[in-house]
Structure 1
Amino acid sequence: MSENWKNDTLAAQALGHVDRETGAVVPPVHLATTYVRDARSPDPASPLYARTDNPTFAPAEALLARLENGADALVFSSGMSAATAVVMALAPGAHIVAPGVMYWAFRNWLVDWCKKHGLELSLVDATDPNAIDVAVIPGKTKLIWLETPGNPLWTVSDIAACAVIARNAGAKLAVDSTVATPVHTRPLDLGADIVMHSASKYLNGHSDVIAGALACREQDDFWAAIKQIRAQLGTILGPQEASLLLRGMRTLPLRVKRQSENALNLAYRLEDHPAVSEVLYPGLESDPGYITACKQMKDGFGGMLSIRLKDGMEAAIRVTERTKLWKRATSLGGVESLIEHRYSIEGPDSPVPDDLLRLSVGIEDCWDLLADLEQAFPG
């Protein structure tokens, strides 16, 4: 496809794919687990066995690599398998710097993995580049992990500033950009080495696929190690799921822009609501991350926001019981709007305030969403 075409066009056309055999505008699903190869000189680029590769992956990986302006991309069986592959590619004794507040399942795994496998970990305030710089151990830090906007407080990290820190330290910078998506932010263009997505969320967008993805700026030895981990552990995406993921990615820009527009409108109107003590959303001028968000996000600030209830934890839980349009469910990024009391999910060790509600804003009418929240608030 033309180098000048925009991401909206590239996504809608799935890079202009047309099946060579049939002329189909939708790529075929390959269910085979093994492939015939030449007896004497097998083509290393041809599929060998489905635990290592499958032609169904290729269109989704090629599209993601193009949207992220990356050199390559890999799809995984889940966001967790994608994220953990990056850490597992590190040598024993490596030091990692990561946010103190981020997606709780990965944070818990990271703490446990580092304890058991001889890695050092520093959890810091990732909104402050100086805190990251101070945490770096020269010659030992091999990975700086960012999540921006960070779940569930939607904090913003300065990717470009952290890229300089990582480069000076000889470390890799990996960015979980699940919430921003390539529609709003392209971390590789800002100096990151790897961008990660829980593709179950916005990339798929329809709450019917569990998937993960990585894209890289350079196909180096570290990327080769990640590819080897995926092949050895078999953390691959099933062919049906890969096909559904590509289908979802074809409407990614449309969905994400509508969700971001809805989220910003809700944030503005909830900011002054008498039942709400605080709105956490990087698109608000009052948000601490607003200036950085404006610098590294375009066409919106994402479809995720959180609100804190003035009347505390019980009031927050009651809101989730009273909403009719907002669905009380885990996950995010689908076309339907979800609401969740995160503290109840994460437990007493959670750093999340117990009066906080996480809102995944869908593509519904914004005023219907607002009215449903207002009727559920304490009054």
Structure 2
Amino acid sequence: MASNKSAGFATRAIHLGYNPNDHEGALTPPLHLTSTFTFENVDQGAAIFAGERPGYFYSRISNPTLDLLERRCADLEGAEAGLALASGMGAITSVLWTFLVPGDEIITDKTLYGCTFAYMRTGLARFGIKITYADMTDPQAVEAAMSDKTRIVYFETPANPNMRLVDIAAISKIAKARGAKVVVDNTYATPVLTRPIELGADIVVHSATKYMGGHGDLVGGIAVGSAEDMTQVRLVGMKDMTGAVMAPFNAMLVLRGLKTLKLRVERHCENAMIVAKMLEAHPAVGRVYFPGLASFPQHELALRQMPGFGGMIAFELKGGHDAGRTMMDRLNMIHRAVSLGDTETLIQHPASMTHSTYTPEERAAHGISEGLIRLSVGLEDIEDIIADLEQALPNVPSALAA
């Protein structure tokens, strides 16, 4: 099925770009496990290398299995083209190395995934790129931070780990008026819930390890944007700067994950809403950060920007850091692990795990409390998720006494 915008999201995720009749009737697209490709003659090879005719010549540049994944991801995000990469960080670094040079400035939100924060602070900055942090929940703060050297405005929404939202349309309008590209990490929301390109962003990146793959059995990254931008990222950022190419086998696994993405995300959303309401009502819990709750500071933005609220929850216990550690160690079914978007419910402590790259002072300044807990609500029966949390939460004496 070729791209058909009248077809629904799930239909395109399953069928787009593949016709079994072109592949011996195979229902599942073939896996191309090859590093290189042969040419009929020297002229054909030269033309493909020169970009004068379509074709494949080396899997570090392109591969038929990756090509199908790239086209599906781009279509689902409402973009012209896509690029599959070795990891989420491979996607982020390949994009930024493509469009930044020494002397440029990148403006980022105050809250970022720990490895992204570390890459910018100790990676980009080391090569003469200025990193400016702004509170992107306030569009005026972004406008005030812009300069004639700003080349990229980068943010996550919802942000990892504290769930802050950014008004994509408002920030994109400000950035484009000053000639800057907008790059959005859409890992938490997925294109099921948010499509930043349709709201004005230029490039979207994902850790495909998370919801796109969805089963905890791969590491991968995705970038989508205009055909021109993705060609540049492919030939500069990925090919020459990082070499962060996705393996064909992993591309096959992500393609499999896309087939159930809409169904899974809807169930993640349903389960997370129930869990968030339970946590908010529990006497041991001090605060819950979840866009679907009326108490969430940006709930109105969530209603405008997201048809569902995702499967991620952040919360704090009244007893603080120590109470959180005790509670997490008492869990039975829920696993202590640092990924997210898997079928399993996962829980972790950002300050000592995913966001330990921040100093304590940086975490305080960037809205990541020492007692914050991040919960990735999975696809288990909701009664079992609730039961495991409830048996752990009442056994936090310091929290209950607070």
TM bin, normalised by shorter chain, reads over 0.9
Matched, 1:257 2:266: yes
2: CA distance, partners of 1:91 / 1:242: 31
Q: Which residue of the partner structure matches residue 92 of structure 1?
A: 102
Q: 1:278-323, CA deviations, whole angstroms, 9 ceiling, x for partnerless residues?
A: 001111111112111111111x111000110001111101111111
Alignment partner of 1:240 out of 249, 252, 259: 249
TM-score w.r.t. structure 2 length?
Answer: 0.90
Of 31-40 and 316-325, more deviation after overlay is shown by 31-40
2: CA distance, partners of 1:116 / 1:155: 28
The answer to whether the 8 Å contact 1:52/1:234 transfers is no
Secondary structure at the counterpart of residue 75 of structure 1: strand
TM-score w.r.t. structure 1 length?
Answer: 0.96
Matched, 1:156 2:165: yes
Matched, 1:36 2:45: no
Amino acid corresponding to residue 151 of structure 2 in structure 1? K
Amino acid corresponding to residue 93 of structure 1 in structure 2? G
2: CA distance, partners of 1:96 / 1:290: 28
Q: How does 1:298-317 map to 2 (within 5 A)?
A: 298=307, 300-317=308-325
1:225 to partner: Cα distance: 2.5
Amino acid corresponding to residue 123 of structure 2 in structure 1? W
1: CA distance, partners of 2:127 / 2:232: 17
1:18 to partner: Cα distance: 2.0
Q: 1:195-221, CA deviations, whole angstroms, 9 ceiling, x for partnerless residues?
A: 1100000000000010000010x223x
Q: Which residue of the partner structure matches residue 200 of structure 1?
A: 209
Matched, 1:368 2:384: yes
Amino acid corresponding to residue 41 of structure 1 in structure 2? Q
2: CA distance, partners of 1:289 / 1:159: 13
- How many correspondences in the alignment? 375
Q: Which residue of the partner structure matches residue 227 of structure 1?
A: 234
Q: Which residue of the partner structure matches residue 79 of structure 2?
A: 70
State the Cα RMSD in Å: 1.4
1: CA distance, partners of 2:387 / 2:162: 23
Q: How does 1:41-60 map to 2 (within 5 A)?
A: 41-42=44-45, 43=48, 44-60=53-69
1: CA distance, partners of 2:131 / 2:125: 9
1:80 to partner: Cα distance: 0.1
The answer to whether the 8 Å contact 1:14/1:246 transfers is no
Alignment partner of 1:267 out of 276, 300, 318: 276
Matched, 1:186 2:187: no
1:265 to partner: Cα distance: 1.2
Q: Which residue of the partner structure matches residue 400 of structure 2?
A: none
The answer to whether the 8 Å contact 1:199/1:212 transfers is yes
The answer to whether the 8 Å contact 1:175/1:196 transfers is yes
1: CA distance, partners of 2:284 / 2:334: 17
Matched, 1:320 2:322: no
2: CA distance, partners of 1:307 / 1:115: 32
Q: Which has the higher helix share?
A: 2
Q: Flag the 1:17–1:288 CA change in 2: closer, same or farther, 3 A.
A: farther
The answer to whether the 8 Å contact 1:14/1:250 transfers is no
2: CA distance, partners of 1:213 / 1:3: 21
Q: How does 1:284-303 map to 2 (within 5 A)?
A: 284-298=293-307, 300-303=308-311
Amino acid corresponding to residue 250 of structure 1 in structure 2? K
Secondary structure at the counterpart of residue 271 of structure 1: helix
Alignment partner of 1:332 out of 334, 340, 344: 340
Amino acid corresponding to residue 223 of structure 1 in structure 2? M
2: CA distance, partners of 1:166 / 1:254: 34
The answer to whether the 8 Å contact 1:96/1:122 transfers is yes
1:331 to partner: Cα distance: 0.5
The answer to whether the 8 Å contact 2:82/2:230 transfers is no
Alignment partner of 2:120 out of 110, 116, 125: 110
The answer to whether the 8 Å contact 2:152/2:183 transfers is yes
Amino acid corresponding to residue 21 of structure 1 in structure 2? H
Of 243-252 and 347-356, more deviation after overlay is shown by 347-356
1:234 to partner: Cα distance: 2.1
Where in structure 2 are there 5+ consecutive unaligned residues? 398-402
Identity %: 39
Q: Flag the 1:19–1:166 CA change in 2: closer, same or farther, 3 A.
A: farther
1:114 to partner: Cα distance: 2.6
Secondary structure at the counterpart of residue 133 of structure 1: helix
Where in structure 1 are there 5+ consecutive unaligned residues? none
Q: 1:159-187, CA deviations, whole angstroms, 9 ceiling, x for partnerless residues?
A: 00011011111000010000100000000
1: CA distance, partners of 2:24 / 2:346: 40
